[in-house]
A = this chain, B = another copy of it.
Amino acid sequence: MKVVTKDKGVYSFSPAHKPVEYVKPGELIILETEDAVGGQIKSEDTPLESIDWSRVNKATGPIYVEGAEKGDTLVVDILDIEVADRGVILVVPGAGILGDSKFEPRVKIAEIRDGLVLFDGLRLPMRPMIGTIGVAPEKGEIPTATPHRHGGNMDCVEVMRSARLYLPVFVDGALFAAGDLHAIQEDGELCVASIEVEGRILLRFSLIKHKAPEWPIVELDDHYSILTADEDLDKAVKLASEQAVKALMRAKGWPFEKAYMFGSIGVKLAINQGVDPKKGARAIIPKTLVTLNDLLIESD
Name A residues whose Cβ lies closer than 8 Å to a Cβ of B.
89-91, 96-98, 101, 103-104, 106, 108, 117, 119-120, 122, 124, 184-195, 232-234, 237-238, 241-242, 244-245, 252, 254, 256-258, 260-271, 274, 279, 281, 283, 289
Contact = CB atoms under 8 A, between A and B. Distances in A.
Given A192-B264, A193-B264, A260-B103, A269 B238 contact: no
A190 B194 CA distance: 29
Given A188-B237, A269-B187, A270-B271, A261 B91 contact: yes
A120 B192 CA distance: 42
Oligomer: number of copies: 2
Nearest to A183: B265
Q: Which of A103, A188, A274 has the most CB of B within 10 A?
A: A188
A264 B187 contact: no
Given A97-B241, A98-B245, A238-B98, A264 B233 contact: no
Contacts of A98: 238, 241-242, 245, 260
A279 B234 contact: yes
